[in-house]
Chains A and B, each alone.
Chain A
Amino acid sequence: MDSIIFKNISKEYGDFALRDVSFSVPRGSIMGLIGENGAGKTTAIRLLLNMIRADSGTIEVFGLDHAENEREIKEQIGVVMEEDCFYESLKCKDVAAILRHIFKTWDDALFRSFVKNFGLPENKRLKEFSRGMKMKLSIAAALSHRPRLLVLDEATSGLDPIVRSEILDVFLDFIQDEEHSILISSHITSDLEKVADYITFLHGGRVVLSENKDKMLYEYGILKCGAGDFAKIDAADIVRYRKSAFGYEALTADKNAAARKYPDITLDSAGLEDVMLLMIKGETK
């Protein structure tokens, strides 16, 4: 069963279009949405939350149409945006007081435990919080009504590695419940390599690939060679390639086959960042 299903979603603006986007987030998993700035990650999330409407296609959340069952679905979703969204004059207890009246399943004790564990100052107003503190508060607020789905739009960007690591641990705790899922958009690919189960890569408003992360990291590789060896590589074995001052880097989608076929060429594993860079900047042979 999938928590989220995007089916052939298209949305056109004047200067940008999301075209025929399809992917799904299996229940009990973390889906990382990657892509360069302007690739369509935030647009996809805004479509999911019905903040904007698709020109065509359907989105299902928990098996329900996301627009027709909007309130029911949103009772079960926790959302963290890139920027904190509470008034700066508020304190932690004010945020709890507001959300207690919004979510039927709000759990004060859980919120207090998050505030304590995150070390958030209870008597300070949000304007005195650091960016990391604000993000932790947003995450505490998003989790304290015990949602089944957590949606995060660039929530870890701009945070130091320590805070990011703390937050990623919270996500991993959350996903221990097999009913829970996370959709997280980020261009910090190292974070997604740590926690994501699946990756959907958007480029220019289209899904370039949507796969199991481990399978992807296991299968993709980078052939590194000079011009002579590069000329010997079959075009069919290369997804994209890039020429640099040091030679050629060619992305292959079948690392093991490439290792057998080109034993004399250096073959490295490909990280998400390598895949993303070569897909965006690379050329086809």
Chain B
Amino acid sequence: MRGLLLKEFLGIRSFFKMYAFIIAICIIPVAVAQDGTFSAGFAVGICTFVGIMMCFISFNYDTGSKWDKFVLTLPFTREQIVRSKYLFSLIMVGVGMGLGLALSAVLAAAGQTELDAGMLLTAGFLAACALLSVSLIIPLVFRFGVEKSRIIVIVIFLVPFMTFIALAGNGAVDGAAVEGALPALARVLPVCGAAALVVSYLISVHIYRKKEV
């Protein structure tokens, strides 16, 4: 399994340069604000999102290079191949969040933002969203391939988001109630994310065991 993970990191190392670009993007609003009102959660959110995207990129590279076929000629069980994808995705999400938090800490030290309880709440939400995203993306890719899954994931994320925006625009969403539910959600969502990850892994193993490549 170490070989599979090493392949992932060596293969996408050029993408790590992208993080430098992302960090630069995060700094632009700081420079614009110049008054310490920059939200630290923005940097963490962007870096975590890139971490989630690494999961897609890895599958995309596998398909493009035909590694997805070649890996089945190597001495791995199909469970190990699935497990390596989950491990890699979780590591990349962790790296993304870690970078985002580190950047926020640097900005806070420079007096450009604040690391408060709200920031930790945001990080908790982002971690839960990342777990749910990975749980959704991996079995979809194993089942439908990268291209179809990308469209399915966009639809799954966009539809509820747009519905919420539309409802909020019509005044149908009680802002105070949503804000009141946030602390409870912050406790429940990470548990849901972890549970989803376990279920997702089992589904992926089931799909991949039957898959003919």
- A residues lining the B interface (CB < 8 Å): 46, 49-53, 70-72, 74-75, 77, 79, 81, 83-90, 94, 97-103, 151
Contacts and interface: CB of A to CB of B under 8 A. Distances in A.
A77 B77 contact: no
Interface size class, chain B: 20 to 34
Interface in B34-73: 61, 65-67, 69-70, 72-73
Nearest to A102: B3
A89 B70 contact: no
B10 to A, nearest CB: 5
A103 B76 CA distance: 10
B206 to A, nearest CB: 15
A191 B213 CA distance: 28
Contact of B212 (A51, A84, A98, A100): A51
A81 B212 contact: no
A101 B65 contact: no
Given A51-B72, A86-B70, A101-B3, 19 more contacts: A51-B73, A53-B212, A74-B73, A74-B75, A74-B76, A75-B75, A84-B66, A85-B66, A87-B10, A87-B11, A87-B65, A89-B13, A90-B11, A97-B6, A98-B3, A98-B6, A98-B10, A100-B3, A151-B73
23 contacts: A51-B72, A51-B73, A52-B212, A72-B75, A74-B74, A79-B70, A81-B69, A81-B70, A84-B65, A85-B67, A86-B70, A87-B10, A89-B11, A89-B13, A89-B14, A90-B10, A97-B6, A98-B3, A99-B3, A101-B3, A102-B3, A102-B4, A102-B76
Nearest to A77: B73
Contact of B69 (A53, A85, A101): A85
B66 A81 contact: yes
A84 B66 CA distance: 8
A145 to B, nearest CB: 9
B77 A50 contact: no
A3 to B, nearest CB: 16
A101 B11 contact: no
B175 to A, nearest CB: 47
Given A51-B213, A71-B76, A75-B75, A97 B65 contact: no
A83 B77 CA distance: 23
A79 B71 CA distance: 10
B7 interface: yes
Contacts of B212: 51-53
A102 B72 contact: no
Nearest to A45: B73
Contacts of B73: 49, 51, 74, 77, 79, 81, 151
Contacts of A49: 72-73
A50 B72 contact: yes
Residue among A49, A81, A85, A97 with the highest chain B CB neighbour number at 10 A: A85
A86 B3 contact: no
B145 to A, nearest CB: 16
B74 A102 contact: yes
Contacts of A52: 212-213
Nearest to B80: A71
Nearest to A71: B75
A212 B69 CA distance: 31
A156 B70 CA distance: 17
Contacts of A101: 2-3, 6
A71 B77 contact: yes
Nearest to B70: A85
A94 B72 contact: no
A260 B6 CA distance: 66
A280 B164 CA distance: 64
Given A90-B11, A101-B2, A101-B6, A51 B69 contact: yes
Interface string B11-27: 10110000000000000
Contacts of B11: 87, 89-90
Contacts of A79: 70, 73
Contacts of A102: 3-4, 74-76
A81 B75 CA distance: 16
B4 to A, nearest CB: 8
A94 B6 CA distance: 9
Contacts of B70: 79, 81, 85-86
A103 B4 CA distance: 11
A100 B4 CA distance: 11
User: Top 9 closest A-B pairs, CB basis?
Assistant: A85-B70, A101-B3, A102-B3, A79-B73, A87-B11, A74-B75, A52-B212, A101-B2, A75-B75
Given A51-B213, A70-B77, A101-B6, A85 B72 contact: no
